[in-house]
Amino acid sequence: MRHTLRETWSGIKRNLAMTIAVIVTMGVSLSLFGAGLLTSMEVDLVKGRWYDKIEISVFLCTETTQGGMCEPGQGTTEAQRQTIQETLEANPEVQEVFYESKEEAFEEFQRVFKDSPILGSRSADQMQDSFRIKLENPENYEGVVSEARGLQGVQNVQDLHRVLDPMFNWLGALQWATIGMSVLLLVAAALQIANTIRMAAFTRRREIGIMRLVGASNLYILLPFLLESLIAGLIGVVLAGGMLSAGYYLVIESNAKTSIQALPWIDWSHVITAMLAVAAVGIALAIVPTLLATRKYLRI
């Protein structure tokens, strides 16, 4: 064991500049990888919270409204309203359908804008009857919206997906861009590790050959190289964990959670999960290139 540790320390000192480069590259790439995982967790958290609360609003025609499936100067008849409700309730994607009359819509308008100067700008007669639709799966909304827009007596159909989907698309693009950059850096780190270990094995090729001749096992020969790459990898993992923790505390814990309280935010349990994933990737990244780089010398 003493020989193994001595050889490991000798290899680190001999390739100190390359080892530092490996540590820095791994630290940065693993940090980006962890940030991508945290972004993915946040997107899933927000999507789960908001999508569960999304309701589709189907607004009916009045004598003054235009567009949609309205007839000029005519509101939705009672027969049309009944047909709309029955059609929506029969859709397998619909969980519940709530009817809101003009009077109820006006009461909600007064409650929401009670302290606003626009409170007196509308009357109950200017409001629209509507149906509120709660879906079985909020992500499967397109079929319900398309069906509702084609019903006679429907003036407009509104849903928050038009607002939320572009935001989630941008967050998803950011997530994949972060993970993509981290993968490129992880590949660079793997190549650096393989090159460092290959150089170390080349400089010690005579010693390895002698050890093979006297019957040393592959594990005994390989162990110093594995320890050398593992030390660099573990330091990179620790750096990445520190950067993830600091980034979470400074960006999320100290700022985002206090300034935007309406959103659900990831917590320390998500950070720990991301750090465990980073540690697993970091260890694999240290071991696999080392095994591949030393195969040639173990056959001497």
Q: Is 178 exposed, middle or buried (0-12, 13-18, 19+ CB in 10 A)?
A: buried
Helix (H, G, I), strand (E, B) or coil at 156: strand
Residue 287's nearest CA partner among 227, 237, 240, 239 is 227
Q: Which residues contact 281 (CB under 8 A, 6 or more apart)?
A: 30, 33, 186
pTM flag (> 0.75):
no
Structure tokens at 147: 């069906």
Q: How confident is the model at residue 285 (pLDDT cuts 50, 70, 90)?
A: confident
- What is the separation of C-alpha 158 from the centre of its chain, rounded to a whole number of angstroms? 27
Write the pLDDT tens digit of every residue in 188-207.
Answer: 777 877 777 777 666 666 66
Write the pLDDT tens digit of every residue in 29-66.
Answer: 888 888 888 888 888 887 776 666 667 889 998 888 78
DSSP lists the bridge partners of residue 94 as 135
Q: Which residues contact 200 (CB under 8 A, 6 or more apart)?
A: 11, 14, 15, 225, 228
CB 197 within 8 A of CB 290: yes
CB 25 within 8 A of CB 188: yes
d(CA 153, CA 81): 7
Q: How many CB atoms lie within 10 A of CB 245?
A: 17
d(CA 197, CA 189): 12
Helix (H, G, I), strand (E, B) or coil at 154: strand
Write the pLDDT tens digit of every residue in 121-180.
Answer: 677 777 888 898 888 877 778 888 889 888 999 998 887 777 667 777 777 787 788 778
Q: For the chain, what's the residue count?
A: 300
The residue with tokens 């071991």 is 287
